[in-house]
Amino acid sequence: MKKLLGIIFTLFFISAMSIKVAIAQDSAPNDQGYFQEFQGTKSAEDRFKLFFDAANRYNQNSGFEWLDEVNGYLNNSEKLNDSIEIKYYKLIQAQIFHDIGDYDKSIAIAKELYKEKEPWGLATKATLLDLMDETYSQLELYSEQIDIRKEKKELGISENVVFYDIYSNLGLHRQAMNDYILEEQKNIKEKDYLAKAIFNNNVGNYLRLDRSFPMALTYYTKAAGFIKVYLSDVTKVKSEKILIESEILRGIIEGNIGKCFLLLKQYEEAIPHLDNSVGTIKEFNKDKYSSDLIENRLAIAECYLNLGDFEKTTDYLSDGLRPRKLENITKKNRIFASYYDRTGDYKNETVYLKRNMRIQDSIRANKTEIQTQQLATVMAEEKAYAKSRIEEQKKALEEQRTEMVEKEEEIQVVFIMLIFTLLGFAGLVYAYLSSIKSQRLIAEQKNIIEKALVEKDSLLKEIHHRVKNNLQMVSSLLSLQTKNTRSKAAIEALEEGKSRVKAMALIHQKLYQNDDLSVIEMQGYIESLINSVQSVYKKGGHNINITIDAEGVELDIDRAIPFGLILNELVSNSFKYAFPKNDDDGKIYIHLRKIADQEGFFEYTDNGIGLPEDSDDRASSSMGIRLMNRLVNQLQSQLNIDKTADGVRFWFNFK
């Protein structure tokens, strides 16, 4: 009878799967308009749901723009003394502070809300407690984190209170791994490739932190395989949020593989994995603070340092990285110190070594005692939790015995009913088997199309790569010509030509490095262009405060190249002429905005000595001004020049 029941339940399962497969459709992320939809939503509760359900809410608007908008709604709610709206907006506010890495502000708001949470619904409580759990972990307040996890279990938000991640944070990586494997491996289903990817990545993390690098690399490689299978499986319905989280996980796993190669001193193997990881995390985790992104860029800098490429080392160390974790801060200081040691700048080496010494002294003064106290607290909580689980298991066993007796009495009636339902399910099974063939044909056609698209993208990337290489060759030829030329005017003209060629080459480099070959992300391009111009003018420009406001703007190649050449001319002129005496107080501001299909706006200002009085007469003879006018004409616009008491301003609108 038990075998027959097993067959019946199997038929139930197959029938249900046939219905699920029949209605399954591919889903693709919709990363447009969350901010605008948020503004257009009327009630605070609907805004709350929209914000936390948004898969990639910072794709078009930064966390600071969201924060300004939410602060406005919160102020209105406080004026009306609407406690419900205040609750929703403060919880959104706390999440935004967490996303941008300001954990102290996030937990301060969350604590205030925690005192008033009793009348809330379970879903809202879960959102608050999950946020506090994550934030306490970032702040290394593990005792408070345990209290939150206990409350989540009491409310039914989570099944168990786990300690392995806390053990790892306290340095007990091997024990954390053993507990994690024991607790989580049994819950992973055979075909759950996402869960397998997460599991193998976490085990790899524990092994890497425990300095078992070859074994960690093995687990990371397994994780990469599982996440690839999961993302390529078109038969499973995936929500937008799950897809984006899976892509971020893919980037994190690849970064972990790169870090393992770095720790194994295989630097050339490490760099491609780390670069790909940085690109993926930036794309799918836009405008959120990510310690993985910081760690991977520091790892790339360390690779180039060990390979002796000091220019790229400084590029990655000087790109605005602001690590918040002590281990990342000390690592950045250590890489800087090593760089200055190898370049013979012992004064700066001493500065960074002293910084690390101060940090380490502070850690030694407090961390050992605090960690001991936290570890004792965790051990006590785990012991109490284990005891309560044993009691719960005993109670559950008694209940199971009672239920089995009752089920034995009911099983004969259920058996008769199931026989009659078999006839109905047989039809569904037949329909399912008939649909398999068509599903396979659809899957094969999708695979053919996807392969063709991949081949097309690869070809385009190769073309852009070769164009970039050819332009670099032109730049090298100009450099050789410069060395063989004695005329100062000729040398200056060749250097300007070389700078313009580099600006165009950088466009093609950015294109073949992007997953999207149709557009250039202008914030990163402008930063790279300025670094390139600074390398040409080695004696000037490094103390100028440069502000770039182009976040989120993407342009196609036909508009990006004129913009790059215009910026090259403007920045070069500022470096050469705007600050002849001292550039310590020099400031350059670059503003670029483009909203959907509406008109865009470009503005460039500096606070240098400005244009000479006869600049209008010289404009007709200056190659730089004539070149910029022609480039602006290509953008179907007109260059405007404003002379101010403090510097100069160039601006134009474009479509």
Q: Which of 10-14, 298-302, 449-453, 540-544 has the lowest mean pLDDT?
A: 10-14
pLDDT at res. 10: 45
Q: Which residue has the higher pLDDT, 251 or 353?
A: 251
Give the model confidence (pLDDT) of 123-157 as tens digits: 998 999 999 988 888 887 877 888 888 888 888 88
For strand 554-556 and strand 545-549, is the pairing parallel, antiparallel, or unpaired?
unpaired
Residue 68 has pLDDT above 70, yes or no: yes
Distances (CA, A) of 459 to 210, 291, 445: 42, 34, 21
Angstrom distance (rounded) from CA 540 to CA 407 = 85
User: Per-residue pLDDT tens for 374-409?
Assistant: 555 555 555 555 555 556 656 766 777 777 777 777
Decide if 626 is inside a domain. yes
Q: Is 546 helix (H, G, I), strand (E, B) or coil?
A: strand
Q: What are phi and psi of 603, to 5 degrees?
A: -145, 135
Look at residue 401 and tell me if it is in a domain: no
Q: How confident is the model at residue 199 (pLDDT cuts 50, 70, 90)?
A: very high
- State in Å, rounded, how far the first CA of the chain is from the last one: 75
Angle at 245 between CA 253 and CA 197, to 5 degrees: 40
- The residues with which 91 forms a beta bridge, in sequence order, are none
Confirm if 363 and 326 have CB atoms less than 8 A apart. Answer: yes
What is the rounded average pLDDT for all residues in the chain? 79
Distance, in Å, from the CA atom of 185 to the CA atom of 206, rounded to the nearest integer, reads 15
**CA pair distance 335, 328, nearest whole angstrom:** 11
What average pLDDT does this structure show over 232-249? 87
Q: Tell me the CATH number at 570.
A: 3.30.565.10
CA 563-565-567 angle, to 5 degrees, is 65
> Does 32 have pLDDT greater than 70?
no
At 477, list the tokens: 């030829």
Residue 647 lies in a domain: yes
For residues 514 and 312, which has the higher predicted lDDT (pLDDT)? 312
Largest separation between any pair of C-alpha atoms in the chain:
105
**Is pLDDT at 254 greater than 80 in this prediction?**
yes
Q: Using CA atoms, how far apart are residues 555 and 522, in angstroms rounded to an integer?
A: 7
The dihedral over CA atoms of 571, 572, 575, 576, expressed in degrees to the nearest 10, equals: -150
Residues 316-335 have a mean pLDDT of 79
What distance in Å separates the CA atoms of residue 626 and residue 617, rounded to the nearest whole number?
12
φ and ψ at 93, to 5 degrees?
A: -60, -45
In a domain, residue 442? The reply is no
**Res 530: pLDDT:** 85
Higher pLDDT: 121 or 289? It is 121
Contacts for 580-584 with beta carbons within 8 Å, 24 or more apart?
Answer: 580/609, 583/540, 583/541, 583/542, 583/543, 583/544, 584/543
The more confidently predicted of residues 449 and 148 is 148
Residue 222: C-alpha distances to residues 216, 217, 246, 265, 610 (Å): 10, 9, 15, 21, 60
pLDDT of residue 251: 93
In the predicted model, is pLDDT for residue 538 greater than 70?
no
pLDDT in tens, 586-626: 889 999 987 666 678 899 998 888 877 765 655 555 777 88
- Which of 240, 238, 248 lies closest to 34, judged by CA? 240
- Tokens 């209290």 -> residue: 147
* Closest to 652 measured CA to CA, from 629, 626, 618, 619: 629
pLDDT tier, 635 (very low <50, low <70, confident <90, very high otherwise): confident
Whether residue 201 lies inside any domain: the answer is: no
Residue closest to 313 by CA, chosen among 295, 297, 292: 297
Point out which residues pair with 641 in neighbouring strands.
650
Range(s) of the domain holding residue 565: 485-654
User: What is each CA distance from 69 to 62, 112, 444, in whole angstroms?
Assistant: 11, 21, 47
Whether 243 and 55 have beta carbons less than 8 Å apart is answered as: yes
**pLDDT the model gives residue 490:** 79
Of 49-63, 488-502, 607-621, the poorest mean pLDDT is in: 607-621
Q: Which DSSP state fits 487?
A: -
Concatenated DSSP letters for 58-78? Answer: TSSS-HHHHHHHHHHHHHHHH
Give the strand pairing for 600-606 and 587-593: antiparallel
Does the residue 650 lie in any domain?
yes
- The H or E element containing residue 640 is strand 640-643
pLDDT at 578 over 60: yes
Over residues 245-249, the mean pLDDT reads: 91
Q: Are strands 554-556 and 587-593 parallel, antiparallel or unpaired?
A: unpaired
Domain count along the chain: 1
Q: How far apart are CA 478 and CA 101, in angstroms?
A: 45
Minimum mean pLDDT among 57-66, 162-171, 460-469, 577-586: which range?
460-469
pLDDT given for residue 307 in this prediction:
92
Q: Is the pLDDT of residue 648 over 70?
A: yes
pLDDT at 365 over 60: no
How far is Cα 552 from Cα 542, in angstroms, rounded to an integer?
Answer: 26
Is 169 within a domain? Answer: no
Nearest to 554 by CA among 521, 524, 597, 529: 521
In a domain, 619, yes or no: yes
CA distances from 262 to 18, 45, 102, 166 (A): 47, 47, 30, 26
Element (H, E) at 467: helix 346-483
- Whole-number pLDDT of residue 21: 37
Provide the whole-model pTM.
0.48
Percent of the chain with pLDDT over 90: 17
Q: Which residue has the higher pLDDT, 34 or 278?
A: 278
